[in-house]
């Protein structure tokens, strides 16, 4: 068949691996053509002492997509979006999804609804309602973290049962697959649980995987995960849990490489994902490091 083509609308950093820099190489490695639109161009991610650069306006974003359209280049199999930053950019993304679907009705839209983490918003409050009411109904696959899933549904996750109720609320909005990444419950503070719910005909299926919780968070992990979910669900659409498990296994491999390098010389720069050194973990995920949790 033809090679899958992804339009990825995310941030760009000159140095380091977040946003499009975290998504492009793994997708290319796994056999995807990637067209990246950079919503920001910064020197580095905002966790450094200093950063410089510019943001794309929503007019500029639509202008670029208009250029693609005039050259008949909007035939994508997938759209991937992450951090949007403000409502006007998010509204532009909504109109872009609709344009792409006119060209490719089967377009798979993988949306990471980036709002914040650990109880802290990174974006203006009004993005929550736009995602919940307008973006999620267009999405095929979503990958919110626990905080984002709670914001999008107005629910609180304190138990496995809460996580599953939240999954169902999210699945009522999206067409195929909802994944709540990084759920940490009081019952198991040293583990990160990943809950996924997907449609299987008329039925809704839930699965849960667990990985060890690392003591320090790494920027770009969520961006990498969304890209890998896109890739693996495309490769094995008949076994969504196996696809998500493969994505998680690659993440574990990348984080092990990154952690080893960071521990030798701890700094903000060595905390960047060791993406290029982890080529093998991206191509050959070791699924044994990802445990499946039997849901009652």
> Which one, of 146, 138, 86, 148, lies nearest residue 114 by Cα?
148
CA dist., res. 6 & res. 231, Å (int): 10
Q: Which of 215, 223, 239, 280 is catalytic?
A: 223
Q: Which residues pair with 183 in a beta bridge?
A: 193
Please, are residues 262 and 271 in contact by the beta-carbon 8 Å criterion? yes
Concatenating the DSSP letter of every residue in 259-284 gives HHHHHHS-STGGGS--TGGGHHHHHS
CA 204 to chain centre: 22
Residues contacting residue 128 through CB under 8 Å, at least 6 positions apart: 115, 151, 152
Question: Structure tokens of 269?
Answer: 């720069």
Does the annotation mark 186 as catalytic? Answer: no
Strand pairing category for 53-55 and 33-42:
antiparallel
Query: Whole-angstrom Cα distance, residue 176 to residue 66?
Result: 28
Among 63, 65, 19, smallest CA distance to 42 is for 19
The distance in angstroms from the start CA to the end CA of the chain is 40
Structure tokens at 187: 């019952």
Spatial neighbors of 178 by CB under 8 A, at least 6 apart, are 141, 142, 144, 167, 170, 171, 196, 197, 198
Q: Which residues are catalytic?
A: 223
């Amino acid at each position: 068949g033809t090679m899958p083509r992804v339009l990825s609308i995310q941030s760009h950093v000159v140095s380091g691996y977040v946003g499009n820099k975290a998504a492009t190489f793994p997708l290319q490695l796994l056999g995807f053509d990637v067209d990246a639109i950079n919503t920001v161009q910064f020197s580095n991610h905002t966790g450094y002492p200093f950063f410089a650069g510019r943001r794309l306006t929503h007019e500029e974003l639509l202008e670029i997509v208009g250029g693609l359209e005039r050259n008949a280049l909007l035939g994508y199999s997938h759209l991937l979006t992450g951090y949007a930053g403000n409502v006007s950019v998010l509204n532009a993304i909504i109109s872009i999804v609709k344009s792409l679907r006119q060209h490719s009705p089967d377009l798979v839209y993988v949306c990471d609804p980036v709002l914040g983490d650990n109880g802290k918003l990174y974006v203006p409050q009004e993005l929550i309602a736009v995602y919940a009411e307008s973006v999620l109904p267009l999405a095929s696959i979503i990958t919110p973290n626990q905080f984002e899933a709670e914001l999008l549904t107005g629910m609180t996750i304190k138990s496995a049962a809460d996580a599953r109720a939240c999954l169902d609320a999210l699945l009522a909005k999206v067409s195929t697959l909802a994944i709540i990444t990084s759920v940490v419950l009081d019952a198991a503070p040293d583990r990160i649980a990943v809950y996924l719910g997907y449609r299987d005909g008329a039925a809704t299926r839930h699965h849960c995987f667990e990985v060890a919780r690392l003591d320090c968070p790494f920027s770009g992990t969520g961006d990498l995960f969304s890209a890998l979910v896109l890739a693996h669900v495309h490769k094995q659409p008949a076994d969504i849990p196996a696809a998500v498990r493969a994505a998680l296994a690659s993440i574990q491999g990348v984080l092990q490489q990154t952690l080893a390098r960071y521990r030798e010389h701890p700094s903000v720069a060595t905390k960047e994902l060791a993406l290029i050194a982890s080529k093998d973990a991206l191509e050959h995920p070791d699924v044994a490091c990802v445990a499946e949790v039997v849901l009652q």
